[in-house]
Each structure stands twice: as C-alpha cells, then as structure tokens.
Amino acid sequence: MIILDKSEIKHLLDGLDLVSPIKEGFKQYSKGKCIIPPVAELLFDNPPGDVHIKYGYTTNEKYYVIKIASGFPKNEELNISNGQGMILLFDQRTGQPLITLIDDAMLTDIRTAIAGQICTEMFANKIKNIGVIGTGRQARLQVRYLKNVTDCRIVNVWGRNKKKSQKYKEDLLKYGFDVKISKSVKELAKISNLIITTTSSEEPLLHESDIKLGTHITAVGADTTSKNELDISIFKRADLIITDSISQCKVRGEISHALLKNLISSDEVIELGSILSGIRRGRTSKNQISVADLTGVAVQDLQIAKAVYEKYLKVKNEI
C-alpha cells in the first residue's frame, strides 16, 4: 500500500483539476448513485475537539473511501495544526487498501473550499464585496479559491481575535486581496453581497436583519449537531436553500436547526448536485437571497482521493 505525507500530496496537487471531479461527485450523489452512511463522530470536551469519520462509494466504480478528519482548536497553543487526519482509498472490487493520504486534513479543507467556489459560481450575483466570518484556515482557502470565479478582490473580515484578524489581512494581501477588518458581523453584512461563515460557533453570529437583498451566503463552519453560525430566521427569509446532502442536513449543520424549529421543511431544501445536473433550478433573480449549507459529504473525499491516487500512478509510470 502507498503512504503519502502532506508534502508529497501537495506536489501531486500541482496542476490537478479537482473542480470537475467534485462537481461530478455531487451529481452522482444527488442521482442516488452513491452509498454514503451517516457520519461517525467523536466529540471531546477537554481539550475541545471533534473527529469525523466519513466513508462511502459510488456504485459500479473502482474505489471506496474512509476519511478521518479532526479539529482541535487548542492545537495552536502546541504549535500543531488544528486539523488532523487521513484519507484511505480502497479497491471496491477486492477491498484491498491502495493508498493512505496523511494530509493533516488538508484535502478536507481543499474540497470544502472547492464546494464553496462552486456555490459562489452558481448562486452569487456579481460580487462587489466578499464578507468572511472567521479567520482560520478555511476562511483563507474559501477566499483564495474564489479567484477562479470572480474578479472581486475586496474582502471584509470579522473575527473575535484582533491579532488573528490582522494576520488574516496580511496573509491574504499576498494573494492580491484588499482586506478590511470589520468591527461587527452586522457591519460586514451591510456591505457584502457574498458572505462566507467559517467558524465553530455554537451561537448564531449572522442574523436575518443584517442581510441585504441579493446576498448569497455559504456556511461551512457548522458541521456538527451543536455548531450554529446562522440565525434560523435567515432560512425563513431565504428564497433559495441549498445543501450538499439533504439527509445529512436534517441532523447536522445550519439547516438542521431551522428544521428542528419547523421554520422550514426539507421540501424547501435543494441538493447542490440536483442543480448541477439541471434537475432543479438555482437563482432566478438578482434580488433573491440564497444560502448554501455545506457539511461535507464523503463523495467529495472519494473524488479528491481518487484524483490524487490516479495522478500518483500517472507520475510513477512516467518516471
């Protein structure tokens, strides 16, 4: 079995198209061609952290995947990456392990950023100002991947920690973004027509009254049952509610809170793959408010692991 570390994986990612396979994965998932069991989860209090195990396969294809990804916020105090984990790819016909990708959750972050890029491309109006709630790794990647779909380079960021907000500003300047630090989420929302939420908050940060017409929101921080960045009233006001997985959003993420309070029904939620396939419609007017709640689906992990593995085989054969 092949074992690759983070530096080797980074080398293979150079020039590799990941958007197309991830789009295809979403399509296959929404067509019912993927077997994706419920997420397995471990939650810790001292120190705080969570571990997600996602796994599955697409029928009549070559591989199946098991991904373990964790987030331990206090790791930074130990100079260790908050994200940890690995992805294991197996032969679907024999069960043989093919490759282990020890990536410190890097591939999880990348596939999440790509899902955000896809949602911005499909649902956002012409972007005048990018609003980002949070200052961590995902807050950086979400913006960096937007360079592929918008020429907007103005970012307003809000974070709880002023030093981290300043560091965020300095880091994104290297990628050509002009970052302004907002004093509040409300201030950020009033000037942004694209808002990306990336925190692990368990209390709503963004409220319905903050949002202006025509805004698209991509929420990626709430990937457990307890996390919650969006006030549920946002979903009542939204014209278009998108998720990567309807079955998953019923039990975790932002939408689950609105469903629990009977503020919306699951019939009002549309899967991203159904819109990508043309089965359902996306945004139909500039004034609509759209919300994409992304909790991450194993088919994304399958597609990115498959792409890395097949690139590895190609490079090996060329040597």
Give the confidence band of 126 by pLDDT, cuts at 50, 70, 90. Answer: very high
Question: Percent of the chain beyond pLDDT 90?
Answer: 95
Mean pLDDT, rounded, of the chain? 96
Q: Looking at residue 1, what is its pLDDT?
A: 86
Q: Please report the pLDDT score of residue 73 as a whole number.
A: 87
Is the torsion defined by CA of 138, 79, 14, 310 positive or negative?
A: negative
Question: From the centroid of its chain, how far is CA 293?
Answer: 9
Kindly state the average pLDDT of the residues 255-261.
97
- The predicted-structure confidence for 206-219, as pLDDT tens digits, reads as follows 999 999 999 999 99
Q: Report the residue count for the chain.
A: 319
Residue 319: pLDDT above 80?
Answer: no
Q: Mean pLDDT throughout 47-51? A: 93
**53: β partners:** 40, 68
47 prior amide bond cis, ω within 30: yes
pTM, two decimals, is 0.95
Q: What is the reported pLDDT for 76?
A: 85
DSSP string, 249-273: HTTSSHHHHHHHTTSS-GGGEEEHH
CA distance 304 to 45: 31
Fold of 108-297: Rossmann fold (3.40.50)
Residues forming a β-bridge with 41: 52
Residue 26, CA atoms < 13 Å, CB-side half-sphere? 30
Q: Which residues contact 240 (CB under 8 A, 6 or more apart)?
A: 123, 270, 282, 283, 288, 289, 290, 291
| Assigned architecture for domain 2-105+299-318 | 2-Layer Sandwich (3.30)
Q: Where are the domains of the chain?
A: 2-105+299-318, 108-297
pLDDT digits (tens, 9 = 90+) for 177-186: 999 999 999 9
Whether 285 contacts 106, CB under 8 Å:
no
Mean pLDDT of 183-208: 97
Paired tokens of 52: 């997600």
pLDDT of residue 93: 96
Under the banding of pLDDT at 50, 70 and 90, the label for residue 201 is very high
Query: Region 9-24: what's the mean pLDDT?
Result: 97
Helix (H, G, I), strand (E, B) or coil at 150: coil
> Average pLDDT in the 52-77 region?
95
Q: pLDDT value at position 81?
A: 86
Q: Are 109 and 141 in contact (CB under 8 A)?
A: yes
Tell me how crowded residue 95 is: count the other CB atoms within 10 A of its CB. Answer: 8
Q: Detail the DSSP E strand segments found in the chain.
A: 2-4, 34-35, 40-45, 48-58, 63-71, 83-91, 97-101, 130-133, 154-158, 178-181, 194-197, 216-219, 240-243, 269-271, 290-293
| Alpha-carbon separation of residue 104 from 123, 142, 146, 170, 312 (angstroms) | 30, 18, 23, 24, 19
**pLDDT tens digits, one per residue of 67-120:** 999 999 899 899 998 889 999 999 999 999 999 999 999 999 999 999 999 999
Of 234, 221, 210, 18, the closest CA to residue 111 belongs to 18
Q: Give the tens place of pLDDT for each residue, 279-296.
A: 999 999 999 999 999 999
What local confidence, expressed as pLDDT, does residue 128 receive? 95
39-68 mean pLDDT: 96
318 has pLDDT over 90: no
Q: What does the alpha-carbon distance between residue 74 and residue 52 come to, in Å, rounded to a whole number? A: 17
- Report the alpha-carbon distance of residue 221 to residue 19 in Å, rounded: 21
Task: Assign 262 a pLDDT band (cuts: 50, 70, 90).
Answer: very high
